Amino acid sequence: MERNYSIDFIKFFATVFVVCIHVNPSHDDFFLGNQENVLDVIVDTFARFAVPFFFIVSGYLFMNKIQKHPKPSAYLKKYTWNISKLYACWFIFYLLFGVVLRLFQNHGTLAERKDAVADYLTSSITFKDIFYYGSDTSGFQLWYLIALIWAVVIVFLFQRWKKTGLLMLISTVLYVTGLFGQSYSLFFPLSFQTRDALFFGLFYTVLGAMFALYGKQILSVLNARPMIYLASFFVFSALEIAERYWLVNIQHSKPGDYFISTIFLSASLFLFVLSSPSLGKNSFFSKVGKNSVGIYVVHICILNETYRLLRSIDSSFFTNSIVAYVLIVPAVFWCSYYLYRGIQWTKGKLHAKPHKHSFTKLQHK
């Protein structure tokens, strides 16, 4: 498969917008009671393209690989094992990180802090959270990794059964159902979380797999210039903002993680990627974009410590939305990038085998 350089290029911007979602000062993760403003609505809603894009890319690359791999089952095992190791390591890290945060917080007696730790561990160490939701530790963003594991396994099975089209239909029904656990809950509320593997991640992973199978035919039929797809992405993004505003700000539903418009803007963006395979080739953005998963898993601990520091300085200044997006987002993003690169460099050094003499072979992991 010829390399598509635009994937890493767009992943850079998608990762930046993931950080924007979590930096949003109107969210309750770090500051309580901040009033949401228009800028928060626009940035938070527009940024919702990011995670669907990651799922689509994963489904696209996975399907391309298993179609050409001599042993698809072996590749699935290797793929899921690598993600599982990443998930397990960071799950443990964030579990302990959450313990430290609660034990050494600035308020409460020691007994109250110990009770907070016990409650935290009780809610985090459950079968459904570890093996399905993955979002109850301080590393709530890890839900993406466990959702991706489930999604690619399901895609693999349906591909082996030659029922990928049926899976596309099933995942679409699940996605639409999942909307009622999001901002559409005002019409028919669901009592469970639908930002997960089955109701969210599966649809976009299957969509990516379908692009791998039929992308060339789709581009041939549409026969549009790349800028048309990019313009469509921005048009549907504007519709998503309007959709979110109507549901949340007018109808007073709860904020959601995905919407109906998310389908069309995500498809438009990936069609742009498919039609512009050389975009970002050898660029700095693509180089950084290759590390998107690393930045994704690291950035919450950086953000947590950043806001803890800022709260001790002047929270009223740093909860300003413009300051948050212009100053805090780049700071958290680049700190996360260089921390992850540092971790990778350290791992490389630890796994390197030193020469003992000229006849010693250098072993690589």
SS3 state at 106? coil
What is residue 359's predicted lDDT score, i.e. its pLDDT? Answer: 37
The closest alpha carbon to 138, from 161, 116, 162, belongs to: 116
In sequence order, which residues have a C-beta less than 8 Å from that of residue 337 and are 6 or more positions away? 288, 291, 294, 295
CB 139 within 8 A of CB 299: no
In sequence order, which residues have a C-beta less than 8 Å from that of residue 285 and are 6 or more positions away? 8, 9, 12, 13
What is residue 271's predicted lDDT score, i.e. its pLDDT? Answer: 98
From CA 233, how far away is CA 229, in angstroms rounded? 6
Residue 99 predicted with pLDDT over 80: yes
What is residue 353's predicted lDDT score, i.e. its pLDDT? Answer: 59
Where in the chain are the domains?
Answer: 5-351
Mean model confidence pLDDT for the chain: 91
Residue 3, CA distances (Å) to 153, 169, 279, 280, 330 in order? 24, 29, 11, 12, 28
CB 341 within 8 A of CB 290: no
From CA 96, how far away is CA 117, in angstroms rounded? 10
From CA 142, how far away is CA 98, in angstroms rounded? 14
Tokens read off for 349:
């050094």
Average pLDDT over residues 311-329: 81
More confident residue, 89 or 136: 89
List for the chain the helix, strand, coil content (%; round to 5): 75, 0, 25
CB 49 within 8 A of CB 17: yes
Confidence of residue 95 (pLDDT cuts 50, 70, 90): very high
Confidence of residue 31 (pLDDT cuts 50, 70, 90): low
Reported as a single tens digit per residue, the pLDDT across 48-76 is: 999 999 999 999 999 999 999 999 999 99
Residue 311 predicted with pLDDT over 50: yes
Q: What percent of the chain has pLDDT over 70?
A: 93
CB 231 within 8 A of CB 171: no
Residue 154 predicted with pLDDT over 60: yes
Residue 355 predicted with pLDDT over 90: no
Reported as a single tens digit per residue, the pLDDT across 213-257 is: 999 999 999 999 999 999 999 999 999 999 999 999 999 999 999
More confident residue, 8 or 362: 8
Residue 149 predicted with pLDDT over 90: yes
From CA 128, how far away is CA 190, in angstroms rounded? 18
Residue 131 DSSP one-character state: I
CB 22 within 8 A of CB 324: no
Look up tokens 């635009």; give the residue. 6
